[in-house]
């Protein structure tokens, strides 16, 4: 049984969670992927139901298909010359859809009305990562002290107190920060009015990581993360063919989110002491969006097609579930003994802490071109834009006031540009070869960092600023009188800058940010997709 606090402003999620949910993979039918996803103006593939809904209007027969894939995930992390790698292999069921094509007539303005449905795996969160190395004079415990320094007092149970962040509470219970010191030159914890903060027993609280057990320097970090789950999308479409020159489409999409992140972060020191913090987080829920699209042949006898599409934001209702565990082997200044501390939040709040919230992703705008040369060549190109900084958090009733701090941090995100290009060549009418390229620009400003609110229940302090993403694709396809099969290969490469935490210090009106040296991370994914289908 979990403890659910939904009517109070306990914060959890960050812009890093929001960006991960808003971002989508290039994953659909093998033909669509083989052409780099550049089929929004060409149409005639079930996957365009999710990019330009008018693409379903190109169909002139019924269609049913399904897709499977096998993926290899690899992550390389380089922290100051210390390199670690993680590799995994997994299979996936990626797509199941159908199109019902209804002919109205040859002489009427409305030639076809088509209906479509498609399920596909829109996002995979799957991946592992490890990093480690010397921290110098930095420590995650300073972040705990920073968060504790902003609270206005300690209650009888810090883990259910809506004014106290879990990171500071775990640091306090694990002797990583303490209220007992023999060195009064330590920096005191002060509230916003400059008053000394005390614990529940009236003892003055000090920023004291390192006073008793040498956390000031010579610390070594060790980080391990596992991410699982994905976003499944269900699209329902109606589309129209008007005089074989104008195609219009409407798609209503429903998305299901299941994101799991498990991290262990630890620090060890020259004197043999150590601590580790385990965070186990999950975001689950559902959302919906609406997509509108049009494809136009501007010249009657020209094979050129121009596509336009707009996607509303996806309106998500989500649950953030978390539990954390800290273990330390550090000197207890009360008893003068080494007494390992072990604190598990699930024993304190009786399971997971659950926080309900709503997320609104950005609008999406798509412009595409398609061109065919005889019956042999098909060329596609398109551009998409989303302003990620426009994302918005709100409470279950739809009010954003209690998420003012989180919404202010969306400025760390920026407008995202996506380019796609692809081609298909039919060697013979039954056999085609394909190639494509897909580019997505960086999601975060270069100086973005994970800024947990003072009362956040989130305890994983790591973050990764992803850079541009590149997809390279090739494919082949067979078309019989009814049966068809497509095979595609996709290679994805994305670099990012990873940090296990930041240290913050307010000097006057200036907030100084310090962090360990960046960890250079390269994520690679190789995916083979197979689509089997019938047209009749």
Q: Cα–Cα distance between 28 and 38 in angstroms, integer?
A: 12
Mean pLDDT, the chain, integer: 86
Domains delineated in the chain = 3-535 (2.40.160.60)
Q: Residue 135's Cα: distance from chain center in Å?
A: 27
Report how far residue 31's alpha carbon sits from residue 535's, in angstroms, rounded to the nearest whole number: 15
pLDDT reading at 187 higher than 50: no
pLDDT digits (tens, 9 = 90+) for 152-181: 556 667 888 888 889 988 988 887 776 544
| Orientation of helix 140-149 relative to helix 166-173, angle to 10° | 110
Predicted pLDDT at 156: 67
**pLDDT of amino acid 181:** 42
* Whether 118 contacts 50, CB under 8 Å: yes
Task: Report d(CA 259, CA 248) in Å as an integer.
Answer: 34
- Is the pLDDT at 149 greater than 50? The verdict is yes
Spatial CA neighbour of 3 closest among 325, 286, 321, 284: 321
On the question of pLDDT at 260 being above 90, the answer is yes
- Six-digit token string for 292: 């509108």
**214: pLDDT confidence band, cut at 50, 70 and 90?**
very low
Q: What is the pLDDT of residues 287-323, one digit of tens each?
A: 999 999 999 999 988 899 999 999 999 999 999 999 9
For 363-407, write each residue's pLDDT tens digit: 999 999 999 999 999 999 999 999 999 999 988 888 877 777 788
- Residue 1 confidence (pLDDT): 30
pLDDT at position 123: 95
Look at 204 and 211; give whichever has higher pLDDT: 204
Question: So what's the pLDDT on residue 507?
Answer: 63
Distances in Å between the alpha carbon of 314 and those of 59, 287, 391?
Answer: 27, 6, 10
H helices of 123-276, in order, are: 140-149, 166-173
**Mean pLDDT, residues 322-333 taken together:** 80
- Give percent of the chain above pLDDT 70: 86
Torsion of CA 195, 196, 202, 204, to 10 degrees: 180
User: Sorting pLDDT into bands at 50, 70 and 90, what band is 183?
Assistant: very low
Residue 6 has pLDDT above 50, yes or no: no
Query: Which residue in 17, 18, 261 sits closest to 126, CA to CA?
Result: 261
- Which of 502, 521, 409 lies closest to 460, judged by CA? 502
Mean pLDDT of 408-426: 93
* pLDDT at residue 216 is higher than 50: no
Choice between 521 and 401, residue whose per-residue pLDDT is larger: 521
Q: How confident is the model at residue 278 (pLDDT cuts 50, 70, 90)?
A: very high
Check if the beta carbon of residue 364 is closer than 8 Å to that of residue 310: yes
Lowest mean pLDDT among 126-140, 213-227, 369-383: 213-227
- Taken as a whole, the chain contains a residue count of 536
Residue-level pLDDT at 120? 95
The highest-confidence range among 57-71, 126-140, 217-231, 342-356, by mean pLDDT, is 57-71
- pLDDT above 90 coverage of the chain, percent: 63
E-strand ranges in 404-481 read: 415-428, 431-440, 463-479
Q: Sorting pLDDT into bands at 50, 70 and 90, what band is 12? A: low
The better pLDDT of the pair 54, 5 is held by 54
Helices and strands counted in the chain (H then E): 6, 24
CA 104 – CA 511 distance, rounded (Å): 66
- Poorest-confidence range of 12-21, 80-89, 103-112, 205-214? 205-214
Average pLDDT over residues 80-96: 91
């Amino acid at each position: 049984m979990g403890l659910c606090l939904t009517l109070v402003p306990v914060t959890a999620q960050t812009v890093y969670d929001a960006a991960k949910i808003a971002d989508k993979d290039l994953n659909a039918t093998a033909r669509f992927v083989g052409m780099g996803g550049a089929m929004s103006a060409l149409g005639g593939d079930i996957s365009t139901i999710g990019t330009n809904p008018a693409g379903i209007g190109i169909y002139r027969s019924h269609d049913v298909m399904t897709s499977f894939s096998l993926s290899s995930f690899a992550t390389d992390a380089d922290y100051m010359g210390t390199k670690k790698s993680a590799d995994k292999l997994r299979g996936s069921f990626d797509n199941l859809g159908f199109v019902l094509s209804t002919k109205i007539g040859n002489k009427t303005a409305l030639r076809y009305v088509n209906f479509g449905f498609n399920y596909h795996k829109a996002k995979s969160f799957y991946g592992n990562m490890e990093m480690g190395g010397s921290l110098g004079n930095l420590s995650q415990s300073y972040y705990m002290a920073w968060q504790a320094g902003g609270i206005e007092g300690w209650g009888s149970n810090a883990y259910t107190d809506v004014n106290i962040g879990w990171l500071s509470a775990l640091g306090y219970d694990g002797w990583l920060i303490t209220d007992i010191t023999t060195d009064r030159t330590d920096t005191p914890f002060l509230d916003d009015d400059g008053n000394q903060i005390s614990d529940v027993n009236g003892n003055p609280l000090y920023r004291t990581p390192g006073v008793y057990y040498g956390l000031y320097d010579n610390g070594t970090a060790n980080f391990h993360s596992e991410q699982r789950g994905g976003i499944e999308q269900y699209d329902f479409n109606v589309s129209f063919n008007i005089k074989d020159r104008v195609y219009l489409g409407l798609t209503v999409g429903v998305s299901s989110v299941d994101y799991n992140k498990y991290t262990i972060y630890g620090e060890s020191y020259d004197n043999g002491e150590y601590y580790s913090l385990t965070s186990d987080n999950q975001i689950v829920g559902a959302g919906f969006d609406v997509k509108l699209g049009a494809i136009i042949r501007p010249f009657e006898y020209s094979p050129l097609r121009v596509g336009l599409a707009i996607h509303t934001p996806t309106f998500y209702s989500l649950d953030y579930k978390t539990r954390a565990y800290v273990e330390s082997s550090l000197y207890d200044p009360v008893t003068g003994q080494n007494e390992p501390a072990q604190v598990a939040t699930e024993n304190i709040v009786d399971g997971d802490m659950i926080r309900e919230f709503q997320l609104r992703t950005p609008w999406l705008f798509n412009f595409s071109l398609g061109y065919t040369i005889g019956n042999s060549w098909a060329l596609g190109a398109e551009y998409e834009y989303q302003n990620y900084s426009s994302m918005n958090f709100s409470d279950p009733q739809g009010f954003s006031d209690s998420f003012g701090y989180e919404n202010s941090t969306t400025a760390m995100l920026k407008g995202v540009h996506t380019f796609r290009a692809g081609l298909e060549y039919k060697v013979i009418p039954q056999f085609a070869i394909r190639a494509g390229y897909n580019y997505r620009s960086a999601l975060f400003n270069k100086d973005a960092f994970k800024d947990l609110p003072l009362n956040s229940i989130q305890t994983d302090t790591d973050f990764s600023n992803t850079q541009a993403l590149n997809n390279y694709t090739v494919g082949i396809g067979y078309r019989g009188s009814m049966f068809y099969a497509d095979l595609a290969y996709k290679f994805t490469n994305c670099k990012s800058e990873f940090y296990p935490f930041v240290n913050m210090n307010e000097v006057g009106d200036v907030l100084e940010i310090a962090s360990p040296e960046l960890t250079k991370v390269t994520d690679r994914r190789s995916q083979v997709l197979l689509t089997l289908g019938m047209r009749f």
